Structure 1
């Protein structure tokens, strides 16, 4: 009985075993199949001409960077000099004695705290309003369909080419009639809307697939909800770029506050520091450079923190996917 069971088992196994000829064919095929070679990263062959061109490009970039940074470095170093050392001939880059007292005197001898407070308030409020209005209007131009949309967008963006000096007098008269001249509200109303922000955000919105908006509409979301819940979270790089550009422009604005802010308590940091050069013979330029260095610090910090998003937003806003 046991022998019969063993024979039946061998017969059953033989039914599932490939014939000897088939096994030899598979073995031969396996031996002839070449082993997969490891993938090697493709590297572009560097020719002598290409290498020279790249070196020349790097040298040019270094020279350009030095040219941009030299005035800034000189200003920072001069803020630690005495008043007589600033314009010494020949130029003395490093101060003989580091005068740290300049940064204390600029706070005690001026209203630096008031100027920074006013400038920071205007920069934050204007930046928030421009990002809000620019992103919202850009969504309408990018996703809504209505008659005359493209013409209206071109007219609106075309205002970028119109210099502000050509209409600042009628604008001043208008804001004076509204009784907002000589208040911070005049600067806020002037810069709360910007065509550049609309253009930047529209270009970025057009890189976002339309299918996302269509799916959201099928789910019952309104256009406001689509803009808030889908478009804004996907537009962080463009929003960061617009925020940085708007904040820097508002922080550095001089002509607008000069025209509208006549009360010294409303002066921004640019107008306040201008008071130090009202008389070229009595100006302590070491203190002035200390104040200018303080005014640059917030901009440098914000740019360093948002540099990654700024570059990404500018690079992708001109592409359409």
Structure 2
């Protein structure tokens, strides 16, 4: 495995103060409009707890972090259009379905639309869903209302209804989602079945603990795989994570470092801000400008101390 084209995961570290946050905001401003760029702060309240009515079993700080990052990366870049996230959209949809029942159609619609809009609709995230999105969501709502209550049957019904809807549609959005769903056929124990891969992803996420961490790593991998499809026309995507010591940022960083150490490449450039001089998750990080990654995942990080 060669490291000639590898980039370190750059972590700016110091005691509590404005320096790291200011540097990350300036980086965001410098890249904005020229490359896909996203800035999240692990200390924001949105990462502390699920939204009202959302069961904790189908939500986590990583889920919210990935949604937040992708929505920002989807902003238009001059000459390249918008980045689409069909793999991530399918994964987030399956995970969210683990918290749905036939009594929660309004919340189901809102959460499904947010995930599906990441697949690329020609309009920015946050705007009213397009006609094709409304059709898919209506199909999902119908599948929930006709299935038995309980997470297992609902997840399977949602995934099956989504796959059927993606197959029947002919627009570019449907085609992207079909390709995104197919990616999950390689999920562990999926035996080549996209449906089983997505159902297992939802089950592992809902189980919590190590199983959830496993599912979250696949969601991070989905985001980065989607970025890999975006091409280099608008420059390499830049992801900025302030207060990376908090759960939302920490788990994303650990997933990226682990995959990079395993030889799973990505195109993203990461900068993060860390409160303090070090962290157990960065025990093998390089602290000099002569960065050479080792075997440990955290050796893929470059820890830069700010004066």
TM-score (norm 2): 0.25
More strand by share: 2
Larger-Rg structure? 1
More helix by share: 1
